[in-house]
Amino acid sequence: MSILSSTQVLRPGPTGLKRWLMTKVMAAMPFAFRLLRWLKPIPHFGKTYAVTRYDDVREVFATDPAFGVTYKDKLDVIMGGEPFFLGMANTPQYQADTAAMRKVVRREDLAHLAADVEARAEAIVAGAGGRIEVVDTLVRRVTFDFLADYLGVPEPPGGDLRVWGTRLFEYQFVASDAPLVAEVEVIAPALRAHIQNQIEKRRAKPGTDDVLGRCLTLQKAGEAGYSDAQIRTALMGFIVGGPPQPPMVVPQAMEQLLRRPDALGGAQAAARADDDALLAGYVREAMRFDPLAPGLPRITLQDWTIAKGTKHEKLVPAGSTVLAAFASGMRDGRRVPDPERFDPRRLPHEYIHFGYDLHQCFGIHINNATLHLMLKPLLKRQNLRRAPGAAGKLRKSGAFAESLTVEFD
């Protein structure tokens, strides 16, 4: 598989003054959230509300009857009208579809996936010659390769899963401008056709133990939940929602470690000692300082009072948009002790990286088992440091990490 640069996988981002302003806004966001948590925990602008305190973020995520997900319309475009559980409320179909996928995406796979990720990352770092670009050459390559193999979805003829998955992710969660929509109208049916073709090929020649193979085995046994459309839609959803994320958050975690020499030293010591649990703590904590996004949107399905009984309670009318600002919640000292201190041994409940409750990320266990191992071989190297100049600083293109180059002896 060829390695594309971010300028090829990602669409061109803002330039000039607009890029400068976006950078400054994102840099100021932690301070702005801190003020809001203190002065106005649930600000609103018209029909858009934001919740900034930890308890309120968890309340929005956990109260599915009042706060619905916003993903269905775009998912219908991507999936060709077939329902995917990311866009569902807590219905019998949601329960059946997620249960079906848990039969084929198994906890017992995690050890194998972890070893696979570490081996792939080690091979890349070992061949890098002391200098490596983290976003594409390491994280994006490892992520798409191991997940494509695990899911059973190879590269499409004449296409690239990294480009297709990233564009569809951007459309689903970030943007909907006309040029992107035009790309999606080509990519989405092409990816559906590619996966359907794989279903038919693998049905004719079964044998491989991957997610697609397991689905087809259960389909042949007559179990419900494994029609061609259901298999195709689930695999589409996993490709759109899964591999585009690590190339965003893992380089951001690396950047946060590079900013903190003590934390970087601790992470390197954990990597060299093969203390994967502690290393995961370092990476998870680094992600807390620069998570995937500031928050996730929800639509208010009924009038609801958030933080009811507190001094800052707020009635949110039905039809409003609510941003559950988990980036703010994870720095709320009411529930996260000493939130500005870098602590790799925090308790699991202090993190809301992957959402909470019903629509918590389906792949959370895979993320927890693998994200730190994408950096482990790099962290084992001696004298790990930023590359000189601009290359050694994390560069973003909108919501996406674009490049970060490091050197080592």
User: What's 232's domain CATH number?
Assistant: 1.10.630.10
- At residue 321, does pLDDT exceed 90? yes
Q: Which residues are 50's β-sheet partners?
A: 323
User: How many H helices and E strands in the chain?
Assistant: 16, 12
245, HSE (Cβ side, Cα atoms, 13 Å)? 24
Please report whether residue 59 resides in a domain: yes
Angle between helices 141-151 and 110-126 (to 10 degrees): 140
Residue found by looking up tokens 């800052």 in the block: 312
Mean pLDDT for the stretch of residues 42-58:
97
- Measured CA to CA in angstroms, residue 404 lies from 139, 243, 263, 392 at distances of 11, 18, 18, 6
- At residue 69, does pLDDT exceed 50? yes
- At residue 236, does pLDDT exceed 60? yes
pLDDT of 3 reads 60
pLDDT digits (tens, 9 = 90+) for 142-185: 999 999 999 999 999 989 999 999 999 999 999 999 999 999 99
pLDDT interval class at 125 (50, 70, 90): very high
Cβ neighbours of 237 (radius 10 Å)? 23
Q: Give dist(CA 408, CA 369) in Å, integer.
A: 25
Residues 6+ apart with CB under 8 A from 308: none
Please report whether residue 295 resides in a domain: yes
Q: Give dist(CA 351, CA 249) in Å, integer.
A: 14
**The two three-digit tokens of residue 57, written as one number:** 């973020």
Q: What is the residue range of 200's domain?
A: 6-407
Residue found by looking up tokens 């201190």 in the block: 341
Please report whether residue 304 resides in a domain: yes
Higher pLDDT: 360 or 319? It is 319
pLDDT interval class at 1 (50, 70, 90): very low
Please report whether residue 337 resides in a domain: yes
The distance in angstroms from the start CA to the end CA of the chain is: 27
pTM, 2 dp: 0.94
Please report whether residue 1 resides in a domain: no
On whether the CB atoms of residues 376 and 267 are closer than 8 A, the answer is: no
On whether the CB atoms of residues 390 and 403 are closer than 8 A, the answer is: no
Q: How many domains does the chain have?
A: 1
Q: Give dist(CA 181, CA 404) in Å, integer.
A: 29
On whether the CB atoms of residues 113 and 146 are closer than 8 A, the answer is: yes
Please report whether residue 327 resides in a domain: yes
Please report whether residue 363 resides in a domain: yes
> Is 341 exposed, middle or buried (CB count within 10 Å of its CB: 0-12, 13-18, 19+)?
exposed
On whether the CB atoms of residues 67 and 60 are closer than 8 A, the answer is: yes
- At residue 2, does pLDDT exceed 80? no
Mean pLDDT for the stretch of residues 88-108:
96
Q: Give dist(CA 290, CA 396) in Å, integer.
A: 12
Please report whether residue 331 resides in a domain: yes
Mean pLDDT for the stretch of residues 109-114:
98
Q: Give dist(CA 283, CA 249) in Å, integer.
A: 10
Mean pLDDT for the stretch of residues 363-379:
97
